[in-house]
Amino acid sequence: MAPRPEVRDTSSPTLDDADTAPKDSVVLPAYSTEDKYEDDPWNLPELQDNGLKWSELDTKGKVMRVLTAIVKFILLVGFLYMFVCSLDVLSSAFQLVGGKAAGDIFQDNAVLSNPVAGLVIGVLVTVLVQSSSTSSSIVVSMVSSGLLEVQSAVPVIMGANIGTSVTNTIVAMMQAGDRNEFRRAFAGATVHDFFNWLSVVILLPLEAATGVLYKLTKIVIDSFNIQGGNNAPDLLNVITDPLTDAIIELDKNVIRDIATGDPAARNKSLIKIWCKTEKITTLVNITVPSAANCTTGSLCWVEGNKTLTQINVTETINLERCNHIFVYANLPDLAVGIILLALSLLILCTCLILIVKLLNSMLKGQVAVVIKKVLNTDFPFPFGWVTGYIAIMVGAGMTFIVQSSSVFTSAITPLVGIGVISLERAYPLTLGSNIGTTTTAILAAMAAPGETLANSLQIALCHFFFNIAGILLWYPIPFTRIPIRLARALGNHTAKYRWFAALYLLLCFFLMPLTILGLSLAGWQTLVGVAVPIVVLAIFIIVVNLMQARCPQYLPSGLRDWDFLPRPLHSMAPWDHVVTSGMAFCGAHCCCCCKCCQSSEDEEKGLQERKKSLEIYDNPVLTRDDEPQETSKETMKATQL
């Protein structure tokens, strides 16, 4: 009998060490070649149809298959509709919970004059309100009212660009149940994060030093006689507003009024009670201390020992109440926000799970082949480079239609997870989404009043040119597509340690911006004194890691690995043990148990059982799978010497 061929499984951490050992020191178990994408988890999985072919069906079977496909399509559209509506309600919930805090953050104009502080404030406010359009409109209102200069608003817009990517990162975490789906989905979501952060790292210092975006947009505004236009067309909102408005309606002007310093707005509720109002202006007689206090041009007279004058008083008359479910609820904004947050997250998770199940059911056989070819295949040589730019235009157009980059990127994230769209194709779609959301903002700015048109349009153009500059930096040359490589590395890391995804979300969008904001408030000396050593250390670690992987011979012997450091400083395994132990304790003593952790344990047990069942092909005397990894390393080094 011919010997069974040996197949290398690169997903196991001990195989790399075993591969370098002599053949007689370790014998690897033979694995089945059926699991194709275990060798490379980034390969798109094959969705095969195990059912009968169309030609093999009778008339009844064909009718049932057609009806089933129609029902699945209707359900898919319905779940997508609920998914988009839940994102809108999620944004409203975040505004109720943190909207007034966001207005308070924007109110400190002295802090916003610091570019770094303005950047992190843009991130924090956008995360709090879950809407870059809301935070951008606040900035536009502040600039229009003279509370903030356009040049100081540019870093805030950059921060809003970063903060808007938190939504699809949250959506990616809903696919943590399957390791490989989570790997791809989290990478597809965080490629947006890395693009925004890398663009800011380059363009924020350049803008602070030269004001290039401000000057460029100023030239554009001064060169063209731009007239006010119409509002951006409501395309998707026309469909979703009937449902979302029946759940909650918000008065977003309250956040803007708090940011612009209106003291009366602090006591107002964001929940809109009256949807139809009318303002009536009347002349009212008031008493003033003397004739010198009378308004110029208005009637002023004396009656006895009183001086009277007339002023215009605007009174708002409430005509019709809103129809949402919280209109009669006597609850504070925070309570309503928490209720809606829990409700929207529940609907979001449910819809996402059902959408993934339906897509896995529908995308089979020839349908999957056609869709994958359309989405992931490049044009033939020499026009292959055009494909990515067409994807950018498609992303921009789709985002313009749905009028939200968060909705579009959140919709393609599960498609990346199940393997319909590759990470390389999702990247240009995301870049196009960034452009699409700025075009909507430009149209909205052109509808501003004449006295605020120039400033509003200049801020929107700053946002547009920032994204264009980022695309020029990180897309045209394949070598510069660093966000893809970083997202893939993070996807591998979070697939192995799935709890790290929550830590990344907390660190990237909350702890790090808050820390930078605190250091900025302490003064630029403190910020530089703390940030510079951290940045230098990070650059040193990155360079050493690259040299360890590519040219370790040029490093001192002590830096060729990180074994000289305590293990928790160079490995996530000890932290993973602590986290999994805590989750196991919680699962044993709490009512609810984490489904994703349970599925992780079941997956690991299944893998161990599969390995044990395949060991029958090996010589048990030569198998050393039970030895620790560290012992294997020492044995192999000694054998090589």
Q: Tell me: the pLDDT tens digits for 545-572?
A: 888 888 888 888 888 888 888 888 888 8
Contact 136, 459 (CB under 8 A): yes
pLDDT given for residue 225 in this prediction: 65
User: What residues contact residue 620 under an 8 Å CB cut-off, 6+ apart?
Assistant: none
Least confident of 28-37, 110-119, 179-188, 499-508: 28-37
Q: β-strand 306-321 against 300-303: which pairing, if any?
A: antiparallel
> Between the CA of residue 625 and those of 22, 263, 511, what are the distances in Å?
16, 70, 41
Give me the phi and psi of 288, to 5 degrees please.
-120, 155
CA–CA distance, 364 with 49 (Å, rounded to integer):
5
Percent of the chain with pLDDT over 70: 75
Residue 31 has pLDDT above 60, yes or no: no
Residue 518 has pLDDT above 70, yes or no: yes
pLDDT given for residue 428 in this prediction: 92
Residue 607 has pLDDT above 80, yes or no: no
Cross-strand bridge partners of residue 306: 303
User: What residues contact residue 527 under an 8 Å CB cut-off, 6+ apart?
Assistant: 116, 516, 519, 520
In this prediction the pTM is: 0.70
Contact 467, 182 (CB under 8 A): no
Q: Is 528 domain-assigned?
A: no
CA–CA distance, 392 with 481 (Å, rounded to integer):
14
Query: Which helix (H) or strand (E) is 319 found in, with range?
Result: strand 306-321
Q: How many CB atoms lie within 10 A of CB 565?
A: 10
Strand, coil or helix: 364: coil
Contact 168, 406 (CB under 8 A): yes
Domain ranges, residue 290: 277-321
Q: Which of 499, 522, 545 is the last residue of a domain?
A: 522
Residues 143 and 283 in one domain: no
* Chain mean pLDDT for the chain: 76
Residue 199 has pLDDT above 90, yes or no: yes
Q: Residue with structure tokens 């896995």?
A: 360
pLDDT given for residue 363 in this prediction: 65
User: What residues contact residue 539 under an 8 Å CB cut-off, 6+ apart?
Assistant: none
Give me the phi and psi of 300, to 5 degrees please.
-140, 130
pLDDT given for residue 473 in this prediction: 92
pLDDT given for residue 487 in this prediction: 92
Residues 311 and 336 in one domain: no
User: What residues contact residue 495 under an 8 Å CB cut-off, 6+ apart?
Assistant: 41, 179, 180, 182, 183, 186
Percent of the chain with pLDDT over 90: 7
CA–CA distance, 282 with 317 (Å, rounded to integer):
13
Reduced 3-state DSSP string for 312-355:
EEEEEEEEEECCCCCCCCCCCHHHHHHHHHHHHHHHHHHHHHHH
CA–CA distance, 50 with 67 (Å, rounded to integer):
19
Residue 10 has pLDDT above 70, yes or no: no
Residues 315 and 337 in one domain: no
Q: Is 512 domain-assigned?
A: yes
Query: pLDDT higher for 600 or 57?
Result: 57
Q: Is 189 domain-assigned?
A: yes
Q: Is 207 exposed, middle or buried (0-12, 13-18, 19+ CB in 10 A)?
A: buried
Residues 225 and 362 in one domain: yes
Q: Is 563 domain-assigned?
A: no
pLDDT given for residue 60 in this prediction: 83
User: What residues contact residue 132 under an 8 Å CB cut-off, 6+ apart?
Assistant: 126, 160, 161, 163, 164, 405, 406, 437
- List pLDDT tens digits, range 111-155: 677 888 888 888 888 887 777 777 777 777 777 666 778 888 889
Q: Is 365 exposed, middle or buried (0-12, 13-18, 19+ CB in 10 A)?
A: middle
DSSP conformation class of 274: E
Residue 517 has pLDDT above 90, yes or no: no
> Between the CA of residue 72 and those of 217, 354, 356, 360, what are the distances in Å?
48, 11, 12, 11
Least confident of 14-28, 287-301, 532-546: 14-28
Q: Residue with structure tokens 């370098």?
A: 20
Cross-strand bridge partners of residue 321: 274
List Cβ<8 Å contacts ≥24 apart for 504-512. 504/190, 505/166, 505/169, 505/170, 505/173, 508/193, 509/123, 509/127, 509/163, 509/166, 509/169, 510/124, 510/127
132-144 helix and 150-163 helix, angle to the nearest 10 degrees: 170
User: What residues contact residue 5 under an 8 Å CB cut-off, 6+ apart?
Assistant: 30
Contact 28, 14 (CB under 8 A): no
Contact 445, 457 (CB under 8 A): yes
pLDDT given for residue 108 in this prediction: 62
Q: Is 53 domain-assigned?
A: no
Which residue spans within 355-402 are E strands per DSSP? none
CA–CA distance, 186 with 311 (Å, rounded to integer):
60
Residue 98: closest CA among 117, 82, 121: 121
Q: Categorize the per-residue pLDDT at 411 as very low, low, confident or very high, splitting at 50, 70 and 90.
A: confident
What is the mean pLDDT of the segment spanning 408-420?
A: 84
What is the mean pLDDT of the segment spanning 83-110?
A: 76
Residues 405 and 431 in one domain: yes
Q: Residue with structure tokens 């009174």?
A: 315
Q: Which of 462, 492, 522 is the last residue of a domain?
A: 522
Query: pLDDT higher for 369 or 615?
Result: 369
Residues 313 and 338 in one domain: no
pLDDT given for residue 52 in this prediction: 64
User: What residues contact residue 480 under an 8 Å CB cut-off, 6+ apart?
Assistant: 473, 474
Number of domains into which the chain is organized: 2
Strand, coil or helix: 525: helix
Query: pLDDT higher for 189 or 520?
Result: 189
Residues 123 and 224 in one domain: yes
Contact 398, 437 (CB under 8 A): no
Q: Is 444 domain-assigned?
A: yes
Query: pLDDT higher for 567 or 108?
Result: 567
Q: Categorize the per-residue pLDDT at 618 as very low, low, confident or very high, splitting at 50, 70 and 90.
A: very low
Residues 402 and 438 in one domain: yes
- List pLDDT tens digits, range 350-401: 887 888 778 777 766 555 566 666 666 666 777 778 888 888 998 888 888 7
Residues 392 and 482 in one domain: yes
Residue 173 has pLDDT above 80, yes or no: yes
Q: Is 508 domain-assigned?
A: yes
CA–CA distance, 13 with 629 (Å, rounded to integer):
9
What is the mean pLDDT of the segment spanning 595-619?
A: 49
Residue 25 has pLDDT above 80, yes or no: no
Q: Categorize the per-residue pLDDT at 475 as very low, low, confident or very high, splitting at 50, 70 and 90.
A: very high
Residues 88 and 157 in one domain: yes
Preceding peptide of 428 cis, ω within 30°: no
Q: Is 252 domain-assigned?
A: no
Residues 419 and 294 in one domain: no
Q: Which of 522, 555, 586 is the last residue of a domain?
A: 522
Residues 136 and 214 in one domain: yes
Concatenate the DSSP letters of all residues of 34-76 into one string. Answer: --HHHHSTTSPPP----S--GGG--HHHHHHHHHHHHHHHHHH
